[in-house]
Structures are given as C-alpha cells and as structure tokens.
C-alpha cells in the first residue's frame, strides 16, 4: 500500500546545507498565529513596521502580480513572519513550501494518500508563483481528503481512522496564514514604501 506519508520536495534551488535557515524560530511555538480580527484592530501596522525591505517588496509584488512571487521570496517572507511571532511554528511548518508534511495518522493504521491529494501535491510542487493559490489548493485538498478518510469504515462499521484532526489542523493552518497575508495586503500599508 502506498501510504504517501511524507512528501519532501526541494524544488526551490536552495542547497540542502541552507535548509536550516528556514527552521521554525521558536518565538511562538504552538500559536496562535495573528488572526484576521487582530489585523482589524491595527496589528497589521505593527507587523508591517517590523518587516524588512525585502519582505515588503514581496508583499507589494504579491499584491500587484500574485503569480510572480518566487518560492524563495515567499519562504523568506514566511520565515520573517514566523521569527516575529506573527505566524506560529505549528502554522509555519503546516504551510511549508519546501517540505510537504502529510499527516501520518496512527502509525499502526496510517492514512493512505488519495489520488487527488497526490495530484494536488504534484501540481503545487510545480509552483505556479501564487502562494495564496497554493495555500487555498492545499487546504481544499486536505479537507477533501479528511472527508474521504472519515467515510472509511472497519468491517464492524466503526470508523477506520480514530483521529483525523491532524489533517484538518493542517488545512486550518493554511487558512490562518492565507488570512494573515490577505489582511496585510488589504490594509494597503505598503503603497507608500
């Protein structure tokens, strides 16, 4: 059985020796990440004030042409947001562009990867240049996969998988990160820079 447990992809051009620079910062390990309600209260101005020029340029480019952001630029922006605690380590790892960690489930009863999930992984690994589209596709595919797994039953009619929360938690991480970036973009705080 092909469990498709971990998909590790390095199509970033970043040498393996430099992967360590993208490790979680440890500032905000388990969250919460900044959410949209925080942004509405002005947290976006505080976050923007702490970003480097390169991160601000990435956000400007994302706003002007969402399909022209490189994977490395996005990873640098996300690492910066993680280092300032705006994105928790958990959400940072759950939305990583370099390593797609597909939830395992129970080690004795691992989740089999669906054809749709593998197709989504292949598609997003080609990196269309739009990180928000990537997050939306990945979250949708995870939710669909979670629903499919929830329908599977043992011979006695009980659910085959006891805990699907890792699948849904990763989909939620995509939503939180996407909402944070959309909130920063909607604030129009980069126009003057």
pLDDT of amino acid 97: 77
- pLDDT value for 191: 46
* Cβ neighbours around 183 below 10 Å, total: 19
Give the residue carrying structure tokens 């490395």. 72
Q: What is the pLDDT of residues 26-52, one digit of tens each?
A: 888 887 788 766 766 777 778 888 889
Q: Which residue is listed with tokens 């329908």?
A: 151
**Is beta strand 6-8 parallel, antiparallel or unpaired with respect to 99-101?**
antiparallel
User: Scanning the structure block, which residue is given the tokens 């994302």?
Assistant: 62
168: left (phi over 0), alpha (psi -120 to 50) or beta: alpha
Q: What share of the chain is helix, strand, coil (3-state, %, to 5)?
A: 55, 5, 40
Closest CA to 180 of 95, 98, 57: 95
**What is the rounded average pLDDT of the residues 121-132?**
81
pLDDT digits (tens, 9 = 90+) for 84-113: 999 999 999 888 877 666 777 777 788 888
Nearest in space to 146 (alpha carbons), one of 99, 101, 109, 114: 114
At 46, which helix (H) or strand (E)?
helix 44-50
Q: What are phi and psi of 38, to 5 degrees?
A: -65, -40
HEC letters along 83-97: HCCCCCHHHHHHCCC
In this prediction, residue 193 has a pLDDT band, given cuts at 50, 70 and 90, of very low
The SS3 of residue 6 is: strand
Across the range 66-80, mean pLDDT stands at 91
d(CA 136, CA 36) in angstroms, rounded, equals 16
Q: Which of 30-39, 76-85, 145-154 is least confident?
A: 30-39
Q: How much is the average pLDDT of 7-22?
A: 65
Enumerate residues 6+ apart whose C-beta is below 8 A from 78.
87, 92, 95, 97, 177
Residue 137 has pLDDT above 70, yes or no: yes
């Amino acid at each position: 059985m092909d469990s498709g447990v971990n998909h590790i992809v390095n199509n970033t051009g970043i040498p393996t020796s430099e992967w360590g620079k993208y490790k979680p910062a440890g500032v905000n390990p388990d969250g919460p990440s900044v959410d949209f309600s925080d942004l509405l209260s002005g947290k976006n101005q505080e976050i923007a004030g702490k970003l480097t020029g390169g991160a601000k340029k990435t956000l400007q480019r994302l706003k002007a042409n969402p399909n022209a952001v490189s994977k490395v630029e996005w990873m640098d922006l996300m690492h910066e947001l993680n280092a300032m605690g705006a994105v928790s380590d958990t959400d940072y790892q759950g939305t990583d562009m370099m390593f797609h960690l597909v939830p395992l489930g129970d080690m004795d009863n691992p989740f089999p990867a669906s054809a749709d999930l593998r197709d989504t992984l292949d598609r997003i690994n080609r990196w269309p240049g739009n990180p928000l589209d990537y997050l939306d596709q990945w979250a949708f595919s995870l939710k669909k996969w979670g629903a499919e797994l929830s329908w599977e039953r043992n011979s006695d009619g009980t659910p085959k998988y006891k805990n699907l929360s890792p699948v849904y938690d990763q989909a939620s991480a995509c939503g939180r990160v996407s909402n944070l970036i959309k909130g920063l973009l909607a604030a129009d705080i980069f126009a003057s820079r």
